[in-house]
Structure 1
Amino acid sequence: MSESIPKPETENDLDVPAFVLAHPFVKSTDADTILRSSDGVDFYVYKAILSLVSPVFQTMFMLPQPEPNPPIPVVDLQEDSALLDKALRFFYPGTQSVVAIVDDLRDIIEVLVSKYDIQSVVATATQHLLKYVEAKPLAVYSIAVAHRWDEMAIMAAKQSLKSPLQIDAEAPPELNHLTAVMYHKLLHYHHRCSVAAKYQTQSLRHVPYPNEYVRFRCTSCASDSLNWYLSDGEAYPVRLWFIEYLKSMGEILARTPGIDIHTHKSVYEALKKATKCATCKGMVFDQFSDFVSHLASEIEKAIDEVELKF
């Protein structure tokens, strides 16, 4: 080894890499291969395990060994000890994967799947990606499209709809891992979802049983200058406060089509206006809550119809 590794005070006096107190890849009497990291840390492993999961390692172990043959063959790798430790823990028996940030996960997947062709870790990798899809949708999208994990990429793309994709801000670091084509696909998807979501606020033909709702029956407060067609094919006057809500929500959906509209401040602003009317305020809380849930369902269905192709 090219660096001095401190020895822990244990019964077996095992050599342990400095970056971790104890791990399952320490010096072993029956290990038959050493993986040596780029920073000189040795990982004692079994050929059979690596050959079973990786055709790359299997081929590597079949190559002729240099003379004289060492007691335990050493394979020099380009990965440093920290990354190699995390990568091995992803599949090696008796270990537990440790992923602190999504960038670690990206590096692990790149090493195991792309470089060493260990396809058996894909299920574990996608489970880890699920943990980041809400907080880091663009990062998850970039990883998923790079490996053609379409289902995960679509899930991440839908999560990205909760935030605006701004071109007037600094470029997010995730763009370093995306091709221009794949980012354009995401932008185009975001735009089409925005159009589809906003349209649900520009038409009321999807509203069921219109005559039951106070926003169509009230004659006490101001109505919009135009009558609106509802699900029965008839045009009705609609309260102005309700139309103002639709217009406000439409502009919001144009930027962030995937937001949760149930708790958006526009709901409370609409209710505040409606309660100023003696007729509306008696029924608006229950009825408007039902409408918001209905609108959210229509938006979700509209977005689900937008296809994202890779």
Structure 2
Amino acid sequence: MSLAECDSSGDSLAQTEFEDHHDVPVDADAPFNRPDADVILRTSDNVDYRFYKFLLSLASPFFMNMFALPQPGPLEETADQTKYGLHIIPISERSIVVKKLLSFCSPVYDTDVPALEDLDIVMAVLDAADKYDMKRVGKFIVKMITAPRFLEQEPMRVFAIACRYRAEQETVIAARYMLRYAISEPAYVAELDYISGADYHRLVQYHSQCSQAMSYITRLWSSYPLPLLDCKLCRKKGLSRIPLKEYQDSVIDALRVRPCAESLLNPEWIESMARKAGSCATCRERVPRKMEEYVRDLTVPVNEIVSEIKLQIDFR
């Protein structure tokens, strides 16, 4: 039975990326060349992966149903091509995707998790897992996409992928990370095509609600007075010289655009506040450190405000 014509939807791997096409079939490297395997999966770039029907059946109802069908004998005209006496199942995925997918189906992956180098590979493996109905594998992979290396580089893609696969915890993590950006800053990503307009609207709504809620900070000014910075050289008070209204407006303006604690911890914002302090050369060096210490305290209520606001996406 051939699966080569069953293309994975949304395959984001370019045809020329990652591995070259082999003109003739070659065997995959260990551990996918074991002689005790009982089936071969041949990828679109002609790499043969020897694996086990039992493990494929456990991971995938798709393969379980396939293997439950009567299998033709090796001499029958309808029989698939064979190699090493094993039936070959052609599949449309490339070898880099199949290697990752089968690694997740292996009983050792709980202690040796396959590496997912970038979100293109993540999407390709997720598409394959979805195609072959490997729900457990798909859920495991989605849990990996909130790693800092993915969130920091492509948070909108992480959000869209998690939302597409209805992974609530990962979607919420990505949505909260998106608060570090103005709502108009993230560029379009192809993964948005796989979620609904309603889901994206909920993300925008969540950002807007967090932004509006930052006005609550104005009730807390008395609990967070600007720190003093006495300077024996200039006889000025350092941070206390920033006009209170100007300081408060700067905080609220920063939080309304990017409603998260990281806005106040941004070195550029801290530096701008230090410049407003207008201190002498001696205390000027101490202002950024003092301001950073101060805003770290202020991030506590900011995080509390954000935590009270829910992302209104239906994950059922």
TM-score of Structure 1 vs Structure 2, range by shorter chain:
0.7 to 0.9
Over the aligned positions, Cα root-mean-square deviation in angstroms equals 3.4
Matched position secondary structure for 1:38: coil
Distance verdict in 2 for CA 1:173–1:113, change over 3 Å: closer
1:16 aligned onto 2:27: yes
1:148 aligned onto 2:159: no
Matching residue of 2:270: 267
1:139 aligned onto 2:157: yes
CA contact (8 A) 1:38 1:78 kept: yes
For 2:50 and 2:289, the matched residues in 1 are separated by 66
Matched position secondary structure for 2:89: strand
Q: Post-superposition shift, 1:93?
A: 4.2
Q: In structure 2, which of residues 210, 222, 225 is the aligned counterpart of residue 207 of structure 1? A: 222
Query: Which residues in structure 2 correspond to 1:48-87 (within 5 Å)?
Result: 48-67=54-73, 68=76, 71-87=85-101
For 1:40 and 1:174, the matched residues in 2 are separated by 28
1:193 aligned onto 2:210: yes
For 1:164 and 1:127, the matched residues in 2 are separated by 25
Q: Post-superposition shift, 1:268?
A: 3.5
Aligned length: 268
CA contact (8 A) 2:97 2:124 kept: yes
For 1:39 and 1:263, the matched residues in 2 are separated by 47
AA in 1 matched with 2:164: A
Give ranges in structure 2 of 5+ residues lacking alignment: 1-21, 230-234
For 2:183 and 2:165, the matched residues in 1 are separated by 23
Query: Which residues in structure 2 correspond to 1:197-236 (within 5 Å)?
Result: 197=214, 199-201=215-217, 203-205=218-220, 207-208=222-223
Over alpha carbons, which structure has the higher Rg? 1
1:91 aligned onto 2:81: no
Q: In structure 2, which of residues 254, 257, 260 is the aligned counterpart of residue 255 of structure 1? A: 257
Give aligned-pair identity as a percent. 26
Q: Which protein, 1 or 2, shows the higher relative CO under an 8 Å CA cutoff with sep ≥ 6?
A: 2
1:4 aligned onto 2:15: no
Q: Post-superposition shift, 1:241?
A: 2.0
CA contact (8 A) 1:214 1:284 kept: no
Distance verdict in 2 for CA 1:284–1:112, change over 3 Å: closer
For 1:182 and 1:60, the matched residues in 2 are separated by 35
Query: Which residues in structure 2 correspond to 1:96-175 (within 5 Å)?
Result: 97-113=114-130, 115-120=132-137, 122-131=139-148, 132-166=150-184, 171-175=188-192
For 2:227 and 2:32, the matched residues in 1 are separated by 68
Farther off after superposition, 294-303 or 75-84: 75-84
Matched position secondary structure for 1:161: helix
AA in 2 matched with 1:16: D
Q: Post-superposition shift, 1:125?
A: 4.0
Query: Normalized against structure 2, the TM-score is what?
Result: 0.71
Q: Post-superposition shift, 1:47?
A: 0.8
AA in 2 matched with 1:298: P
